[in-house]
Amino acid sequence: MPVSSRDDLSLQDVSGLLGLPGIQVVRLAREGGIPAEREGEIWRFPRQAVQQWIAGNRGHTRADGQPVDSDAPPAFNIVDSEDLDHYRAQPGNWNVQVNQLSKGSFRSCIRSLSLPGMVVYDNRWGCASLVRGQSPEGWLMMGGVVAPEQGTLHWCGHRADRQLFACTSERKAISFSVEDKAHDVVLLIAPELLRQTAGSEALDLMRHAQHLDFGVAGAKLVDLSLSLVKQCESHALLLQQPAIASRVRSALLRVVEECFSAIFTHGHSGDSPDSRELAVHKAVEHVWQASGPVSAWSMAQAAGVSQKTLELAFRQALGMTPGKYLMLTRLNGAHHELADAIRGQHTVTEVALRWGFSHIGRFSGAYRQLFGELPSQTLGQPCPRG
């Protein structure tokens, strides 16, 4: 039997250093991703070469070679927002704009669990919203819905659920809507960590897919994520213990591996969108990208369907007509501009006219009904913090 020298690390040693289960370390070694030598059934890992490999890969997982904060210490955080602009101003991985689609005060609660190379988000929404922006640099994203019967997430022509996950790669334009009381789980994972965990094929799949059907493994990932976030919220000191933080991370990675194994074993992809959901997605993109006037007719033309079909699709996906969606988009645009405006240099009338509202009284009434305050109250207000 081969005997390891002092200059060799065992499989258990490397597993501990990387925070990965042994089976994933073996996969990485087989793919040539980590320095290793095999003698029969025994894997040997040259100590110096492995340490250099770890140092060379740590914090450099972005496509442009710039460092990401993937080795930050484990942490738990909660952000409660009761204002659109407070939500928008939160620091973090996301660069998004949120448009409110239902009446009343905007509410959201985000619980996040940060681990080396991954971040778990538990998102709760208090009102229907449309979110647009860009996916985080240096991260791959996958997200599922906790309880679709209470409120779901619409993403690129699909209704995400506990098994069908929304996915995207780094620095991609994103656009999705959530219903009232929607509750979702999102996992960010560094590309190199996904390759180490589930293999190069999984990384290639994530770089091109918009949806992935993980089957029961997806539901398992949703439940595990919620459970871990809840435990860390109840026992904040847990993450300060390296052994516990490592076990939490390893548990998540094992289920991530199960998710991709399910796809490769059963051939699930989830990339055939529902025709009505896809029509809504195309119409929404038309609203945001059009350089000229937009109408329900032009939205239907952009979606490639009749106005009646588009109206049925909008009612099914967003609970409103295309015309109502256009009105809410304009109101949200005015809201964002008023919140960013400097009092004394801009007026409510100027902003309203820019967004197509010629009757200021009706604009103010619709604005107050949606946001719970008058446009004049929003104008020049400092963004609420905490």
| Rounded mean pLDDT, 368-373 | 89
Tell me, what's the pLDDT at 54? 66
pLDDT at position 59 over 60: no
Q: Where is average pLDDT lowest: 6-15, 54-63, 353-362? A: 54-63
Calculate what percentage of the chain has a pLDDT beyond 90: 28
Q: Are 44 and 2 in contact (CB under 8 A)?
A: yes
Is the per-residue pLDDT at 328 higher than 70? yes
51-59 own/partner pairs: CB under 8 Å, 24+ apart: 54/17, 54/18, 57/192
Mean pLDDT (the chain) is 82
Interval 42-60 mean pLDDT:
69
Of 17-31, 156-170, 359-373, minimum mean pLDDT range: 17-31
278 falls in which pLDDT band (50, 70, 90)?
confident
- pLDDT reading at 174 higher than 80: yes
Fold (CATH) for 75-266: Jelly Rolls (2.60.120)
Q: Is the pLDDT of residue 191 over 90?
A: yes
* Per-residue pLDDT, 142: 94
List alpha helices for the chain, DSSP H: 11-18, 22-30, 47-57, 84-88, 191-198, 200-208, 216-234, 242-266, 275-289, 296-303, 307-318, 322-340, 348-354, 360-371, 375-378
More confident residue, 203 or 67: 203
More confident residue, 385 or 262: 262
Least confidently predicted of 50-59, 225-234, 255-264, 283-292:
50-59
Q: Tell me phi and psi for residue 357, to 5 degrees.
A: -105, 110
pLDDT-derived band at 372, boundaries 50, 70, 90: confident
Rg over CA atoms, the chain: 24
Mean predicted confidence (pLDDT) in 305-316: 88
**pLDDT number for residue 274:** 66
Q: Where are the domains of the chain?
A: 8-57, 75-266, 275-378
CA atoms within 13 A of residue 348's CA, in its CB half-sphere:
16
Give, to the nearest 10 degrees, the angle between helix 242-266 and helix 216-234: 170
Per-residue pLDDT at 67 exceeds 50: no
Q: Is 184 helix (H, G, I), strand (E, B) or coil?
A: strand
- Amino acid 123 reads N
Output the pLDDT for position 270: 52
Which percentage of the chain shows pLDDT scores above 70? 84
Which is the CATH superfamily of the domain at 275-378?
A: Homeodomain-like (1.10.10.60)
Confidence of residue 33 (pLDDT cuts 50, 70, 90): low
Enter the tokens of residue 366: 């619709």
Of residues 318 and 214, more confidently modeled: 214
**3-state SS assignment for residue 205:** helix
Give the separation between CA 357 and CA 203, rounded to whole angstroms: 47
Average the pLDDT over each of 3-17, 194-208, 308-322 and give the range with the smallest value.
3-17
Report pLDDT digits (tens) over 104-147.
778 889 999 999 999 999 999 988 888 888 888 889 999 999 98
Per-residue pLDDT band for 299 (boundaries 50, 70, 90) equals very high
State the sign of the Cα–Cα–Cα–Cα dihedral 48, 51, 55, 56.
positive
pLDDT of 251 reads 93
> What confidence score (pLDDT) does residue 252 get?
95
Q: Using an 8 Å Cβ cutoff, are 225 and 252 in contact?
A: yes
325 pLDDT more than 50 = yes
Say what the pLDDT of residue 49 is: 81
